[in-house]
Amino acid sequence: MRALVIGASGGIGGALCEALAVRGEVVGVSRRGDGLDVTDEASVTRVLGALDGVFDLVIVATGALALNGRGPEKSLRALEAGAMAAQFALNAIGPVLVLKHSVRLMPKDRVARFAVLSARVGSIGDNALGGWYSYRAAKAALNQFIHTAAIEVGRSHRQSVVVALHPGTVETGLTAVHGAGHPSVAPAVAAGHLLAVLDGLTPADTGGFFDWSGKAIPW
């Protein structure tokens, strides 16, 4: 198997690269290592355009909860247009631009998997607490992008599995600040969960939104 990890220098991205290395060839790209800026389509075009061959699995492990020193908003009073736009650029628009430029790298003659890291808080149906406006909305937009794109990609790649995944609460620098006491797991454990879920998904699941245990999350 040949895999491509976008955001390979991050905690989950790095752990995914390590876990996938035992399965076959892994190509990892990131801002730190390759100058990849998913919010800049010219950068996405340059980095992904330099890749050859096909990848059985493409995972986008980019994203951030806090940007430019601003954490998730707790009230309407905290909303600021620039910060909201930055959340959408990184957490929604960036991943779907990666998909746009990854379709040519996906095989048509066998199962091709493409996954983005979303978040349960992006579920509108599961939102009972409010708050976190921009991050929630950006992830909800990402879910819509993925669901919509899965329909189109499925027409040319009939065995494709294009999905959004919630990795759970993973031990990173932000967990202690914004984890709200939720149980967390190490990046290596999260990576194992995500790959196990992907292993179990079929083309019938394309366009779906699943958590780290493989359960469907309401939109």
**pLDDT tens profile 54-73:** 999 999 999 999 999 999 99
Can you give the residue ranges of every domain in the chain? Answer: 2-211
Residue 183's pLDDT is what? Answer: 81
Cβ atoms of 30 and 7 closer than 8 Å: yes
C-alpha distances in angstroms, 140 versus 42, 104, 125, 150?
25, 26, 10, 15
pLDDT in tens, 155-188: 999 999 999 999 999 987 655 555 556 789 999 9
Q: Are 36 and 30 in contact (CB under 8 A)?
A: yes
The answer to whether domain 2-211 has CATH 3.40.50.720 is yes
Reported as half-sphere exposure (CB side, CA atoms, 13 A), residue 155 has a value of: 4
Would you say 165 and 82 are in contact if contact means Cβ atoms under 8 Å apart?
no
Whether 43 has a pLDDT exceeding 80, the answer reads yes
Taking the CA atoms of 48, 37, 207 and 144 in sequence, report the sign of the dihedral they define: negative
What are φ and ψ of residue 106, in 5° steps? Answer: -95, 135
